Chain A
Amino acid sequence: MSKSFSRRGVLGSLGGIVGGLLSLPVARHVKAAVQRVFASAGAPEGYDATKHWWLMVIDIDRCIGCGLCAEACKNENHVPKVPTYFRTWIERYIIKKPRPGTTETRGETLVDSPNGGIDGFPPSLVPREEILKSFFVPKLCNLCHQSPCTQACPVGATFDAPDGAVLIDPNYCIGCGFCIQACPYGCRYFNPETKTADKCSLCYHRITRGLKPACVEICPTGARIFGDLKNPVPDDPILRFVRDKKVQTLKPHLGTEPRVLYAGMDKEVR
Chain B
Amino acid sequence: MAGFPLKIPPQINRLILLTLGIVGSYLIARYFLTPATFGQYGWYRGAALEEIASRTPVYAGKLACDECHSEKLEMLAKGKHQTLSCEGCHGVSSQHAANPDILPVKMAGSHCIRCHEQNDSRPTWYKQIVVKDHYAGKCRECHMPHNPTEVPEEPQPADQAAKEEKQKPESPEKKPGAVEKAGKAEKAEVP
Contacts and interface: CB of A to CB of B under 8 A. Distances in A.
B114 A66 contact: yes
Interface residues of A, number: 71
Interface stretch (A101-109, A165-173, A179-187, A251-259): A165-173
Contact of B119 (A61, A65, A93, A218): A65
B85 A205 contact: no
A169 B120 contact: no
A214 interface: yes
B41 interface: yes
Nearest to B61: A211
Contacts of B88: 68, 72, 218-220
A131 B123 contact: no
A160 B42 CA distance: 8
A42 B62 CA distance: 24
A64 B113 CA distance: 12
Interface stretch (A9-17, A116-124, A138-146, A238-246): A116-124
B48 A169 contact: yes
Contacts of B126: 64, 221
20 contacts: A1-B5, A35-B36, A50-B41, A64-B119, A76-B58, A123-B120, A134-B120, A156-B45, A161-B41, A170-B51, A171-B45, A171-B51, A172-B45, A208-B53, A209-B53, A209-B57, A214-B58, A217-B59, A218-B88, A220-B115
Nearest to B55: A205
Contact of B114 (A40, A120, A135): A120
B120 A64 contact: no
Interface stretch (B27-35, B152-160, B168-176): B27-35
B44 A156 contact: yes
Given A49-B41, A64-B123, A205-B56, A39 B35 contact: yes
A124 B51 CA distance: 43
Interface string B52-77: 11111111011100000000000000
A162 B122 contact: no
Interface of B: 5, 31-33, 35-36, 38, 41-45, 47-59, 61-63, 81, 83-85, 87-88, 92, 114-115, 117, 119-123, 125-126, 189-191
A43 interface: yes
A207 to B, nearest CB: 8
Nearest to B122: A64
Given A75-B58, A156-B43, A211-B61, A167 B49 contact: yes
A83 to B, nearest CB: 18
The 8 closest A-B pairs by CB, nearest first: A43-B50, A169-B48, A159-B44, A205-B55, A134-B121, A42-B54, A208-B53, A43-B54
A136 B121 contact: yes
| A64, A76, A94, A132 — most chain B CB neighbours (10 Å) | A64
A220 B83 contact: yes
Interface string A196-219: 000001011110110110100111
Given A40-B51, A172-B48, A217 B123 contact: no
Among B33, B52, B87, B125, max chain A CB count under 10 A is at: B52
A82 interface: no
Contacts of A135: 121, 123
B95 to A, nearest CB: 12
A3 interface: no
A44 interface: yes
A35 B49 contact: no
Given A75-B92, A221-B83, A65 B189 contact: no
Interface in A32-59: 32, 34-35, 38-44, 47, 49-50
B49 A34 contact: no
Nearest to A211: B61
Contacts of A218: 59, 85, 87-88
Given A27-B31, A66-B114, A41 B54 contact: yes
